[in-house]
Chains A and B, each alone.
Chain A
Amino acid sequence: MSLESKIPAGPLEQKWQKHKDNLKPVSPANKRKFKILIVGTGLAGGSAAATLGELGFDVEVFTYHDSARRAHSVAAQGGINAAKNYQNDGDSVWRLFIDTIKGGDYRSREANTYRLAELSSNIIDQATAQGVPFAREYGGYLDNRSFGGALVSRTFYARGQTGQQLLLGVYSALSRQVGAGSVKIHTHKDMLDLVVIDGTARGIVVRDLVNGKIETFIGDAVILATGGYANVFFLSTNALHSNATAIWRAHKKGAYFANPCFTQIHPTCIPASGDHQSKLTLMSESLRNDGRMWVPKNPDEKRPPEQIPNEDRDYFLERMYPSYGNLSPRDIASRAVKRMCDEGKGVGKSRQAVYLDFTDALGRLGKTVIADRYGNLFDMYDRIVDENPYNGPMMIYPAPHYTMGGLWVDYNLMSNIPGLFVLGEANFSDHGANRLGASALMQGLADGYFVIPYTINSYLVKGKPAAIPLDHPEIKKAENDVQNRINKLLSINGNETPTGLHRKLGKIMWDNVGMGRNEQGLKNAINQIQAIRDEFWHNLKVVGNDSYMNPVIEKALRVADFMELGELIARDALERDESCGAHFREEHQTPEGEALRDDEHFAHVAAWEYNQDKEPIRHKEELNFEFVEFATRSYK
């Protein structure tokens, strides 16, 4: 199967408009005849459901949560980018586009990234109209702040809860449609398989988490907006239920998985305090507007941070990257932190942390201003660490946070399986090898509000697919597969819990497929993952049965899929024999330790095809840069 990106021809600035003009809408009278199944109610899935419902499609949306408002988009803190140029600082669609392409280290599609930048302004307008209380200046105008990888101030925010407020905007639009009867919402439903009939996506198999019942829903198109897979590392900033099962099951039904090794490690998270740790908490990138990162120059430094004078401190980001300084992109900043700790300059009990210091900003702006900007984050830090960040610096360390990789999609956001669309973090399309801060919210909402309502027509225009009976053999087979998988999990009766095995997998991933990767480590990781997967299927302990709300089964099903995905991530990292963005192969670095790309051999998307019990097949989609020239990424 060839990978056709379906990027429209013509000048970059005109591609999207021309494409929209060429897409024939479904007539208003026929829209309600098309049933669209959407999995996920975060920014991407929720906004798609609300918008498609408004347009008149027959929409059913599924979430494993008890309410659409719990999706993990809720946890995004710092902000959302938009090229409004309200600050008169030289921002434009082009600049946001270039920043995103460069931030992604030239491993994303020009046309997709440009479209994202183009739509960014509409999102702010839409959210404001819904009543999202973005921060304002005294005159009543919208306020902005800066995020990493940009020299302009284009990030809109609602205190440290921007994701929550945008999600509640989406949730209110979705709720309006549910109230109006145009969208039906199914809560506590976990998608466990995709139904593919005659090569097209026709339905999903879900399990009711309250009563264990397995059920199939049939539709004319399926949209997955199920988020990222950073929880493959066990410890990440993701919510604990965030998982890869929906996209992994679609992958096993034929959808290509693109660039799985592009996993983002966020530089500023609260370090783990012990082996009991169940998750890591992010401290928003927005803190780097006013916080300065440093370590003591002397590895044997014993003084508490407040007593270390400036001349004995190494503000390493400001030293290494004078022009971007503390607002260097995430991949760059994370590696710098790791380097400091590897050189023995780490601080804290574990020596795996650096300082993030607000003393200067507190002196310059005062406590009130700082509290207004970051109050909830400072309080959260205090609650978790039991140290007040108004009195001394925070201690932070990188942690897995976001996954740029995901299911392969074309310009219409359709996967290689006709009728299967993938939105938001679940797809791979816009961020290349590294995502800039405040761009995930932007992408989720652009995909759901402004892209899919148009591009779904590219598929639906072919006409309504044939009706499918619920006893179709493919449906029975998918349901049986799900039931057999659960029965198998229940029958092992070993000695390790799903969480225990997940923790072991996470350690392998973090140690070998984390911030620094090399050939030997990746080969070892693949062997170790195979061994732990074997252990999973022979030594897993699951209790009870599947006829009631059983969180152990729910967890085991997700860990089983992480065990397979982890290997694909390592394999992709091994095959991508270059460093780019967040993918850092230690063999490929400059003398200063910067990532060394190989544009001649790797300026492509690696799209993996599932191949049953054999090794997966790596396909390539070449990235053609028509409008941007390759450049070495420099933030110095």
Chain B
Amino acid sequence: MKVKLHVWRQKDKSTPGHLVDYDVDGIEPDMSFLEMLDILNESLILKGEDPVAFEYDCREGICGCCSLTVNGIPHGHQKGTTICQLFMRKFSDGEDITIEPFRAKSFPVIRDLIVDRSAFDRIIQAGGFITVGTGMAQDANSILIPKKIADLAMDAAQCIGCGACVAACPNSSAMLFLSAKSSQLNLLPQGKPEKLKRARAMIAQMEKEGFGSCSNHYECEAVCPKEISVQFIAKFNRDYLAASIKEGA
């Protein structure tokens, strides 16, 4: 197989970027999308050019490093799949492929396809946790959690923190990310004492980071590689509303 790539190249945060065309040949259908980029990069290095900088690590869809928008869709066109798990057999021979970084005001480009997602860390630091010190815990089976609730919490907890939800949203909202984390904790008995405080703290930090508000486009759910449901946003909104009413709780 061969493909024609249009890749976003940008030297650093302050230099404007642009699309550059590359032809890549010798692709096997069993290669992953990132292995196709490896071929391009190896050839660029041998020509003495800077390779395309893109973020990756585990290459099995769990670390959340991937931040590529492929043909306009964060993580590409295969549903429920990070770009590292998208294989070239899902493209056709000779296809034109445009690769850009995740785009959002709160995710500035560091270089080429790599963006700064530290805003997500700061949201968690603001309140995305249960306040428990090491060694305080009682026996795990003394907290009974119905299977249904545990499963629902796990559905939310699967978030890999990649930021595709933000990149897909016309408002660059981070509500799917926030609601996934907070729902996981708010659903569990261990997380209930801080439910309202958590909602307030995370939202406040989200606004500070410049993420937009949710206006129910559901683009986030459509691109989420872990298929996290927008129903968690509704749940989170209820928690936040309760938090706004019960000031000081």
B35 near A277: Cβ-Cβ < 8 Å: yes
- Let me know if A130 and B129 touch, CB within 8 A: yes
Closest chain B CB from A475 CB (angstroms): 28
Task: Choose from B12, B62, B145 the contact partner of A164 (Cβ within 8 Å).
Answer: B62
Which residues from B are CB-within-8-Å of A278? 32, 34-35, 38, 59
> Interface residues of B: mostly helix, strand, loop or mixed?
loop
Interchain CA distance A427-B117 in the complex, whole Å: 31
Q: In B27-73, which residues have CB < 8 Å from any A CB? A: 28, 30-32, 34-35, 38-39, 42, 44-46, 48-51, 53, 55-65
Contacts of A133 in B (CB 8 A): 150, 153-154, 157, 184, 188
B185's nearest neighbour on chain A, judged by CB, is: A131
Supposing A50-B134, A175-B125, A551-B51 touch, asked if A273 and B154 sit within 8 A by C-beta, the answer is no
Q: Determine the interface band of chain A, counting residues with CB < 8 A from chain B.
A: 35 or more
B140 on interface, CB distance cutoff 8 Å: yes
Contact A550–B50 (Cβ < 8 Å)? yes
B121 at the A/B interface (Cβ < 8 Å)?
Answer: yes
B193 CB → nearest A CB, Å = 12
Q: Which of B44, B87, B147 contacts A386 (CB 8 A)?
A: B87
The digit string for A267-291, where 1 denotes a CB below 8 A from any CB of B, is 0000001101111011000000000
Q: Specify which of A175, A541, A549 is in contact with B124 (CB 8 Å cutoff).
A: A175
Q: A74-B58, A172-B124, A380-B85 are in contact. Are A131 and B188 (CB under 8 A)?
A: yes
Cβ contact within 8 Å between B58 and A75 = yes
Q: Known: A128-B137, A274-B28. Contact between A139 and B190, CB under 8 A?
A: no
Contact count band on B: 35 or more
Q: Is the CB of B141 within 8 A of A142?
A: yes
Q: Is the CB of A134 within 8 A of B125?
A: no
Shortest CB-to-CB span from B116 to chain A, Å, is 7
Residues on A with C-beta less than 8 A from B31 are 274, 276
In the complex, chain B residues whose CB is within 8 Å of the CB of A187: 118
Closest CB-CB distance, A179 to chain B, in whole Å? 4
Any A CB within 8 A of the CB of B103? no
Q: Please pick, from B65, B137, B154, the residue contacting A70 in the complex, using a CB distance under 8 A.
A: B65
Near B by CB (< 8 A), chain A positions 124-149 give 124-142
User: Distance in Å from the Cβ of A556 to the closest Cβ of chain B?
Assistant: 10
- Taking the closest CB of chain B, its distance from the CB of A47, in whole angstroms, is 8
**Contact between A172 and B45, CB atoms less than 8 A apart:** no
Which residues of B come within 8 Å of A, CB atoms?
11-12, 28, 30-32, 34-35, 38-39, 42, 44-46, 48-51, 53, 55-65, 78, 80-81, 85-87, 89, 110-111, 114, 116-118, 120-121, 124-141, 143-147, 150-151, 153-154, 157-158, 160-161, 184-185, 188, 190-191
A: which residues have CB within 8 A of B? 47, 50-51, 54, 65-70, 72, 74-75, 84, 86, 122, 124-142, 158-159, 161, 164-165, 168, 171-173, 175-176, 178-179, 185, 187, 210, 239-241, 273-274, 276-279, 281-282, 379-380, 383-384, 386, 449-450, 453, 495, 497, 499-500, 541-544, 548-552
29 CB contacts below 8 A, A to B, read: A51-B134, A65-B65, A67-B117, A69-B64, A69-B161, A72-B57, A75-B63, A128-B137, A129-B143, A131-B129, A133-B154, A136-B147, A136-B150, A139-B144, A140-B145, A179-B127, A239-B63, A240-B57, A240-B58, A276-B38, A276-B39, A282-B60, A383-B85, A384-B32, A384-B87, A543-B51, A548-B111, A549-B110, A552-B50
